[in-house]
């Protein structure tokens, strides 16, 4: 299995710089590749400017580039490429930023990049994504936390892992909040989709997938949901290879 993925729950912890906590993991993930330039997909960042989507994507590109330059790399954004599919096919590595997953998936379908990205990942191209960018590595976007601000052609995503991720997973129900907890929402999904496995990926954690192995990295445990079973906690360093049991 050639897949090389870094699926990050969140970009920024409270009080930290942007992409602060995962910087070490990003450097370690890329260190053996020799790749210094990554194609960036900014389409989840819809609200960074009052001057329209392209202005938001420009701001997003520069924000990410400011960090990647510090790490000895740089990114260039797909929103400036005339042929997005060609850009994917020629990319050495891809990074997908967080934001609104529905708009990200809308654009993935509109530009037709889904099959191209999927094939490049299967061929071994490094892929990293945070928040929405981690969500779209899953079979579908159904475990996003985001508001459906636009209707994609399909909920289908890159489908390069056989389970769903719920980024920013929270255990607590905020005081005074009368709605469902995150666990209740995931259990609603499982009641309808009983074959699905969901990983609740807490802040400051990521899944590193490489050479047929999957590891939880970061400082906190993940929470695993499977229909008909109580949720189970797994710590960094625990064996979670069973998540890939359906992969060859």
Dihedral sign (CA 110, 112, 117, 118): positive
Does residue 25 have an active-site annotation?
no
162 and 247 Cβ atoms separated by less than 8 Å: yes
Among residues 9, 56, 77, 146, the one annotated as catalytic is 146
Does residue 131 have an active-site annotation?
yes
**Chain centroid, CA 217 distance in Å:** 14
202 and 172 Cβ atoms separated by less than 8 Å: no
Among residues 168, 171, 177, 238, the one annotated as catalytic is 168
Q: Centre a 10 Å sphere on the Cβ of residue 14 and count the other Cβ atoms it contains.
A: 5
Q: In the numeric block, which tokens belong to residue 149?
A: 């601000």
Which is nearest to 83 in space by CA: 73, 74, 91, 92? 91
Return the ∠ at Cα 206 (arms to 226 and 76), rounded to 5°.
125
**Beta strand 205-210 with 5-8: parallel, antiparallel or unpaired?**
antiparallel
CA-to-CA separations, 52 to 49, 98, 148, 231, in angstroms, rounded: 6, 18, 19, 42
Does residue 103 have an active-site annotation?
no
Among residues 9, 56, 77, 131, the one annotated as catalytic is 131
Active site residues: 131, 146, 168
């Amino acid at each position: 299995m050639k897949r090389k993925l870094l699926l990050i729950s969140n970009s920024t912890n409270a009080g930290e710089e942007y992409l602060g906590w995962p910087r070490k993991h990003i450097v370690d993930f890329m260190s053996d590749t020799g790749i210094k330039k990554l194609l960036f997909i900014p389409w989840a960042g819809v609200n960074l400017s009052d001057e329209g989507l392209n202005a938001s994507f420009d701001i997003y590109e520069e924000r990410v580039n400011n960090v990647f330059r510090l790490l000895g790399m740089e990114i260039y954004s797909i929103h400036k490429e005339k042929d997005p599919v060609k850009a994917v096919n020629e990319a050495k590595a891809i990074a997908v930023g967080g934001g609104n997953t529905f708009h990200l998936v809308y654009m993935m379908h509109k530009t037709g990049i889904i099959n191209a990205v999927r094939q490049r990942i299967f061929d071994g191209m490094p892929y990293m994504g945070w928040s929405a960018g981690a969500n779209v590595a899953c079979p579908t976007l159904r475990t996003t936390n985001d508001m459906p601000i636009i209707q994609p052609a399909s909920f289908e995503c890159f489908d390069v892992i056989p389970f769903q991720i719920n980024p920013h997973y929270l255990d607590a129900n905020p005081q005074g909040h009368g709605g469902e907890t995150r666990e209740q929402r995931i259990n609603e999904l499982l009641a309808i989709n009983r074959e699905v496995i969901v990983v609740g990926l807490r802040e400051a954690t990521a899944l590193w997938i490489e050479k047929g192995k999957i590891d939880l990295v970061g400082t906190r445990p993940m929470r695993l949901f499977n229909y008909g079973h109580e949720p189970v906690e797994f710590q960094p360093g625990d064996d979670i290879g069973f998540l890939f049991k359906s992969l060859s």
